[in-house]
Structure 1
């Protein structure tokens, strides 16, 4: 990492201190003299102090890469989060800290999908609402995207719900929308939504965040953290159904954030 603060070493301080000493034969500046050995030895502590100060400025002040002050950062931001039941690497803890500091919250599918991706899970979301006479139609109610942002289905009144794919993105040009989940059940069906977990979180050992003797080569996440976090952030009047029927190990080279 570039040193933006021009950290001085103990030898730099020794050279500066030697220039402050009196002049004369009793004050030799030779490298092998006893005087310079004493000056150089006593000056090393100042190099250590300045190196530590630079480290605080360059590394420990950045929550993305902090190590020594990570416990202090976590304490100030209410971490570790009780949702994380499994052991976390230093890298995981740094990401949890940044997420806690930057998350703004929302109620859209995009928010929940991106939040899950941040902690290493690939998900899609299915929402429900009851069939409504006069608004819906029998048969295939799916539509093709026309490239507009957002696009509205002719089964919806203009200005209502945009047609989205399972990732929460507006249906693209010539893309077929998902099957509308319109049931004939009670109107409370609109208060439920399903989170389809498609990929397990794989935590591979990393030199930057791993701890020898503590972290294994690979850890497979059980999604307990995902369920806990999404239930915390969901709209209070809704309930989440978690679907693991399409779970796959995913790309082993992708690892986890």
Structure 2
């Protein structure tokens, strides 16, 4: 519960003290001036309450009134991954607000884990004269491609390059691919490999 900084009676007392003194400026409870000041004091007390509640809105994990403003500022929801509840929406705001930059393989894996996916990201380096002669020779395109292996995704049987999706990959995979492609470095691409979930 939000407690106002000043109650209506406290504001009434302040307003009455600001008024001139004398018989024409009666401070009796039933005086017209007191009735007018009481109405003003009510609005000032409500404004205090509103200011106190807005102070809580400064923290994304407590926001409610400004939740839509936070979402617009942070570009949420992403990739049609909209949440229904206020709690889920607030959690998405907090996660994106606290997300730090960086696209190392472990950071991409962490981003996928935050979305609920178990992935392994592999950076494929080209062969050169200092490497072991048994190092595999990868196609030239892998110079700018990261291989993302998605584990335990049901109904997934295809390999996708960059943002191209196939009907055989579940809709959840579309959210993963869209999100990772949204944050990828310019000129870099992902190759998504989906492991078939073992049937029980």
Is residue 22 of structure 2 the alignment partner of residue 34 of structure 1? no
CA distance in 1, matches of 2:5, 2:152: 45
Q: Which residue of 1 aligns with 2:103?
A: 107
CA distance in 1, matches of 2:187, 2:27: 82
Q: Which residue of 2 aligns with 1:116?
A: 112
Q: Which of 228, 231, 236 is the matching residue for 2:178? A: 228
Q: Which residue of 2 aligns with 1:126?
A: 122
Deviations 1:140-181 (A, max 9, x none): xxxxxxxxxxxxxxxxxxxxxxxxxxxxxxxxxxxxxxxxxx
Tell me, yes or no, if the aligned pair for 1:193 and 1:240 is still in contact at 8 Å.
Answer: yes
RMSD: 4.0
Question: CA distance change for structure 1 residues 247 and 111 in 2, over 3 Å: closer, same or farther?
Answer: farther
Secondary structure class of the residue paired with 2:49? helix
CA distance in 2, matches of 1:20, 1:134: 85
- Report the Cα offset of residue 55 of structure 1: 1.8
Is residue 80 of structure 2 the alignment partner of residue 68 of structure 1? no
**Which of the pair has the greater relative contact order for Cα pairs under 8 Å at 6+ separation?**
1
Gaps of 5+ in 2: 154-170
**Mapping of 1:207-246 within 5 angstroms?**
222-245=172-195
Secondary structure class of the residue paired with 1:241? strand
Normalising by structure 2, what TM-score? 0.61
Deviations 1:206-243 (A, max 9, x none): xxxxxxxxxxxxxxx82433311211322344432334
Gaps of 5+ in 1: 139-181, 201-220, 249-257
Tell me, yes or no, if the aligned pair for 2:125 and 2:142 is still in contact at 8 Å.
Answer: yes
Is residue 40 of structure 2 the alignment partner of residue 87 of structure 1? no
Number of residue pairs the alignment of both structures matches: 175
